[in-house]
Amino acid sequence: MRVIRIIPCLDVDKGRVVKGVNFVDLRDAGDPVELASVYNQQGADEIVFLDITASSDSRETLYEVVRRTAEEIFIPFTVGGGIRSVEDARQILRLGADKVSLNTAAVLRPDLISDVANEFGNQCVVVAIDARRSDTTSCGFEVFTHGGREGTGLSLLEWAQKAVEKGAGEILLTSMDRDGTKDGFDIEMLKTVSQVTSVPLIASGGAGGAKDMADGALLGGADALLAASIFHFGEMTVPEVRKELLKAGLTVRGA
């Protein structure tokens, strides 16, 4: 039986949480440490912290913010953005993260996934994939890197399978087309990955309410449901989402 997780996401740029639409038009959503503490108190199952400009700016993750956030929360904490080596991953884990998220660097060097998994275990490795609809790939979705700025020509299906083969313990799949739109998760995209991979799948991009999140699990096959806008701007709380998921017949962690 799948037990669904609810995960608020902190997209961080220059030390502040931001949220946009389709990866652009970012607006400030608050302090990452303060928001993480709020979600910890609300009973979120996990928190994901993504330094969204670390790769595009060719710099390291915001270590001090990661450390302060880890000190404030007592739930699993995943950190991504700018992790390019085993040593980078080690630093993040030492600062208090439970998992590291690999995206651009993993696409550029897939063996990084194996290297990190061999050092710390598959359970510590989340491979984040940003993808959008495209007629140029066989599965209809293309993988993008550098915070959604650069197309790769890679098929989402092929990359997801390869990431799991290399040692990914989870896949965090974001629909760039749905990001920030509140139009619901891209169910077809989720099914493309969930039906052919064996590791937990985190749905991201488009959640506008509890029904969208329930559909991500019921129709898309996701094991965890990530959202940002609805939480950051006070539209719903974690307990409210959990209550609605239970009503939909899902088994939810923390319930």
Asked if 51 is an active-site residue, the reply is no
Contact 184, 178 (CB under 8 A): yes
Concatenated DSSP letters of 40-81: HHHT-S-EEEEETTTTTTT----HHHHHHHHHH--S-EEEES
Give me 102's structure tokens.
Answer: 């690999």
Q: What is the DSSP letter of 180?
A: T
CA-CA-CA-CA torsion for 80, 10, 70, 30, nearest 10 degrees? 140
Largest CA distance in the chain: 45
Q: Which of 186, 86, 73 has its CA nearest to residue 102?
A: 86
Which member of 130, 177, 179, 223 is catalytic?
A: 130
Asked if 177 is an active-site residue, the reply is no
Contact 119, 100 (CB under 8 A): no
Which member of 11, 45, 179, 215 is catalytic?
A: 11
Interatomic CA distance for residues 222 and 182, integer angstroms: 17
Write out the catalytic residue numbers.
11, 130
